[in-house]
Amino acid sequence: MNKLIIKNATELVTCKGNAPNHGSAPKKGTEMSDVGIIKNGAVVIEDGIIVAVGATNEILSKFDEKNYEVIDAANKAVLPGFVDSHTHLIFGGYRADEFSWRLRGDTYMSIMERGGGITNSVRATREESLENLVEIGRKRLHKMMQFGVTTVEGKSGYGLDMDTEIKQLEAMKILDAEEPIDIVSTFLGPHSVLPEYKGKEDEFLDFMINNVMPVVKERNLAEFADIFCEKNVFTVDQSRRFLKAAKDMGFKLKIHADEIVQLGGAELAAELGAVSADHLLQASDKGIQDMAKAGVICSLLPITAFSLKEEYARGRYMIDNNCAVALATDLNPGSCFSNSIPLLIAVSAIQMKLSIEEIITALTINAAAAVNRADSIGSIEVGKKADIIILEYPSIHFLPYHVGVNIVETVIKNGKIVKL
């Protein structure tokens, strides 16, 4: 039996909620400020599952240290593993030249309209073998774990055809089986419109719904379905049609919503009961209110706004209006080639005006809910998986204070220390 005790944590950050179903529900509004800190805390883990949580003196009176591997976390903070709930981690090629164009003043949409953007990544990803995509993805996953990420969502969407969409999802399935980090897969077939489908978007959606999606489902390659609902990409009506078909086929729903233009994607997410709506830079007041009422998680991606030099999503307003907010990196080759959790924390605190407690909630229990895993991860509670990180400093306040620097010292996944 694999047995581990973490003791003497200066701050044991449980992220435990107060509701009867606290173990599986995201936190909304003011609840996000409560991260359930236990001073001088301890955790007992057996076979990868948390079996006891509490003050160190209380825990050690009930469990004999001699029977466990022991980590002394004195002068350190202990948290749930981070969940990166929105990434595009499997792709071929890079777009560094486009980043320079944007610095020069070109817009993301103008680059897309002249054949760059996602179309460039599609060409490169189609050319990569499955084996190469697996190895590329493996390196990215290892870097994610160094930042304390123990579960990650990954999307397809750089194929826009049958073979490459399947290839991306197969790469994630292989990596999920082979690597310690858990991968939650999302089918994002309608990520863009290739030049040959301009004006024929409905025909393209028919292909994705009738040809590709059934194969994804039959081969159990994705849990979620997603679409880029945006001006000059897919309309609200087209997004509704795709997502309804996905829901009927048994997929849970996500949506790229209101990133560049206020189109009504947030309202659509609430209407369809999506698990999350992501980006939301331009989400309307009504859309935010609708999502709060419907329980849609607002997944915000501030490093993307930072990289695009756009205004940030109104995270402060969303929390103040009782939304459940999650944070994610949006790692991708175009608008955000970064998986940096320290940068994400810094931007969220300094630019979006979120407290460190709200940021931690957004990166743990709420992000876990955004990938339908809050019943098993996202907080340090009895019965949950032992996905835990230990910081080299005694307080969570060092996360934004040590600006942009990784302070994760130890990563524990399923109760086992990961070699970083």
pLDDT tens track of the chain, all 420 residues? 799 999 999 999 999 865 555 567 899 999 999 999 999 999 999 999 999 999 999 999 999 999 999 999 999 999 999 999 999 999 999 999 989 988 898 887 788 777 778 889 999 999 999 999 999 999 999 999 999 999 999 999 999 999 999 999 999 999 999 999 999 999 999 999 988 999 999 999 999 999 999 999 999 999 999 999 999 899 999 999 999 999 999 999 999 999 999 999 999 999 999 999 999 999 999 999 999 999 999 999 999 999 999 999 999 999 999 999 999 999 999 999 999 999 999 999 999 999 999 999 999 999 999 999 999 999 999 999 999 999 999 999 999 999 999 999 999 999 999 998
Count of CB atoms situated within 10 Å of the CB of 187 = 30
Q: In angstroms, how far is the first alpha carbon of the chain from the final one?
A: 23
Query: Using an 8 Å Cβ cutoff, are 40 and 56 in contact?
Result: yes
Q: Model pTM?
A: 0.97
pLDDT at 23: 66
18 burial class (0-12, 13-18, 19+ CB within 10 angstroms)? exposed
Q: What is the dihedral of CA 104, 107, 110, 115, to 10 degrees?
A: 70
For Cα atoms 301, 303, 308, give the angle at the middle one, nearest 5 degrees.
105
* CA dist., res. 146 & res. 366, Å (int): 21
pLDDT at 285: 98
Beta bridge mates, 326: 299
Extended strands (E) in 49-148: 49-55, 69-72, 77-80, 82-84
The residue type of 230 is E
Query: How do residues 172-231 score in pLDDT, each as one tens digit?
Result: 999 999 999 999 999 999 999 988 999 999 999 999 999 999 999 999 999 999 999 999
pLDDT at 110: 83
* CA dist., res. 58 & res. 68, Å (int): 16
What are the residues whose beta carbons fall under 8 Å from the beta carbon of 392, sequence distance 6 or more?
Answer: 76, 407, 408, 409
Q: Which ranges in 325-396 belong to alpha helices (H)? A: 341-350, 356-363, 365-370
